[in-house]
Structure 1
Amino acid sequence: MANGKINISMKLDKDTHKRYKLYCVEHDTTFKEIFMEEMERRIKKAEEKKKEK
């Protein structure tokens, strides 16, 4: 891609997609924002764990 970004896709069953979509609408957020926050949290936790060893 020209801007150095890549796409990520995932396949979800219809019920799961509906649940996720409704959650995002109700909480005024996007799945991308939730995914990015969660990944950053997990990476930070893993890095902290690594430093403890």
Structure 2
Amino acid sequence: MEGKLKSITIKVDEETHRKYKVYLAETGLTFKDIFNGEMERRIAEAKKQKKEEK
């Protein structure tokens, strides 16, 4: 990634945090991996939907 990086912060309750932490430890993924993958999937889906509407 070129240029300056920006941070994203979310607040979740303790139970949710624990759930996420356990899942990430079990899978070896990071929250960043999951977030980036999901955002790219959603962006591609939105572009596809926009294209179909034209």
Structures share a fold, TM > 0.5?
yes
Identify the residue that residue 29 of structure 1 maps to in structure 2. Answer: 29
Runs of 5+ unmatched residues, structure 2? none
**Whole-angstrom distance in 1 between the partners of 2:6 and 2:35:** 15
Aligned residues: 51
Q: After the TM superposition, list the runs of 4 or more consecutive aligned residues in structure 1 that deviate by more than 4 angstroms.
A: none
**Whole-angstrom distance in 1 between the partners of 2:32 and 2:17:** 13
If the length of structure 2 is used for normalisation, what is the TM-score?
0.89
Q: Which has the higher contact order (CA 8 A, sep 6+)?
A: 1
Identify the residue that residue 49 of structure 1 maps to in structure 2. Answer: 49
Runs of 5+ unmatched residues, structure 1? none
Aligned residues with identical type, % of pairs: 47
Pair 1:9-2:9 in alignment: yes
If the length of structure 1 is used for normalisation, what is the TM-score?
0.91
- Give a deviation string over 1:31-52, Cα, whole Å, max 9, x none: 1100100000000000000000
